[in-house]
Structure 1
Amino acid sequence: MSTNALRPARELLLKEYRGVLSTHSKSMPGYPFGSVVPYCLDAEGHPLILISRIAQHTHNLHKDPKCSLLVGERDAEDVQAVGRLTVMAEAHKLTDEAAIEAAAERYYRYFPEAANYHKAHDFDFWVLQPVRHRYIGGFGAIHWLDQVTLANTFAGKAEASMIEHMNSDHANAIAHYVELSDLPRTPAAHMVGIDSEGMHLRIGQAVYWLPFPSTCNTPTQVREALVLLARADNWPSATHVEG
């Protein structure tokens, strides 16, 4: 297993927010069934999805929870020359009320429109518990990885507090992050997530992940990174220690 591949594999999972969910077909035994799903990462760093009870992939998961999520770099001109990650996993439907509430609070920040059809229809949150990962970083860069995901140090009140503070009091700083990263400048960006390695911004219907210059393990380090970036003339190169 290559430790050099862990960082780019994890970044890919952090920044794409959509993938192809492959399940074992219930109606066509022996055949894989692929469907596109949006996702964000939960507090443990595992893909969190919201799917309809009547959807084919949901019926498939109830029969066999083994699945995979294929994530590839968006807008790639040559899909074989860029990174892609297959997360082999077991899907678990959330049934505990506290877990569902935490999942909803996180998921709706990333995908606020989902709150409407979740309430109007029979949708449930599922977590994909990774078993193994297959990462391809381009031609010849192929790796089996056992541990890619990292738990979010700030998940819960700390993350929610930082996000609220940034959106309420530092809209200009967020606009500067967008400018530095050459992301769309309209509509205005809103921060929707923070992890130890970066921030998540929602611009219109799209979500983008931007890396911190270095890993942040405390709220103080996050604040220092956000201040540094707010004053920067260009986005600093990231230097991280693998964990």
Structure 2
Amino acid sequence: MSKRDPFRPVDAEARALARDLIDHATYAALAVIEQGHPSVSRIAFATDPGGAPLSLISDLSSHTTALEAQPDCALLVGEPSDRGDPLTHPRLTLQATACFIPRDSAEHPALRAHYLKQRPKAKLYIDFGDFRLVRFDVRLALLNGGFGRAYKLTAADLTMAP
């Protein structure tokens, strides 16, 4: 028996839905491998100027240690509303590599400012010594737009329109 491919061809509607989920997310579920086992935690979520996922995480968090050891990870964005079946609401899994942004890098000041525009309350702790910006370089995205609406998107499919 052959397994049927569940993914539809990617179209403009799927790209727009995926981009909308990324652009409007304020948090995400982050999946990492921690000491050889899967682990999931909730993180703050923003985007860099190019639309790539961006977060601010603490060195005190176990997921930070896990990402340093193994930067391959996944993010889940898109939350169900209070109404209806949660499985009918769109969600997007981003398979990515975590890239820590050093404070002394040329790009850090601009990313810091951009992050604070999206998450102004982070001003309280963004400069604490244990917090670092991390960008997630997406390799592949799996979009579930509701029943019967599954798509496999590339990083290029998620690129913001100029």
Report if TM-score (shorter chain) is over 0.5: yes
Q: Deviations over 1:115-143 (max 9, x none)?
A: 22122341000000000000000011111
Return 5+ residue gaps in structure 1 as ranges: 152-195, 197-216, 218-243
**What residue number does 2:115 align with?**
107
After TM superposition, the structure 1 stretch with the greater mean CA deviation from structure 2, 98-107 or 127-136, is 98-107
Greater RCO (CA < 8 Å, at least 6 residues apart): 2
Letter in 1 for 2:52: H
**What residue number does 1:15 align with?**
24
**What residue number does 2:96 align with?**
89
Alpha-carbon distance in structure 1 between the residues aligned to 2:31 and 2:40: 4
Letter in 1 for 2:100: K
Alpha-carbon distance in structure 1 between the residues aligned to 2:28 and 2:80: 10
Matched-pair identity in %: 29
Larger Rg: 1
Q: Higher helix fraction: Structure 1 or Structure 2?
A: 1
Following superposition of structure 1 onto structure 2, how do residues 149-160 of structure 1 map, counting pairs within 5 Å?
149-151=158-160
How many positions carry a matched residue from both structures? 150
Alpha-carbon distance in structure 2 between the residues aligned to 1:149 and 1:52: 27
How well do the aligned residues superpose, as a CA RMSD in angstroms?
Answer: 1.6
Alpha-carbon distance in structure 1 between the residues aligned to 2:73 and 2:82: 25
Contact 1:12 1:73 survives alignment (8 Å): no
TM-score normalised per structure 2: 0.85
TM-score normalised per structure 1: 0.58
Following superposition of structure 1 onto structure 2, how do residues 29-108 of structure 1 map, counting pairs within 5 Å?
29=36, 31-77=37-83, 78-95=85-102, 96-108=104-116
Alpha-carbon distance in structure 1 between the residues aligned to 2:149 and 2:10: 10
Shift of residue 51 of structure 1?
0.2
Q: Higher strand fraction: Structure 1 or Structure 2?
A: 2
Return 5+ residue gaps in structure 2 as ranges: 1-8
Alpha-carbon distance in structure 1 between the residues aligned to 2:64 and 2:157: 25
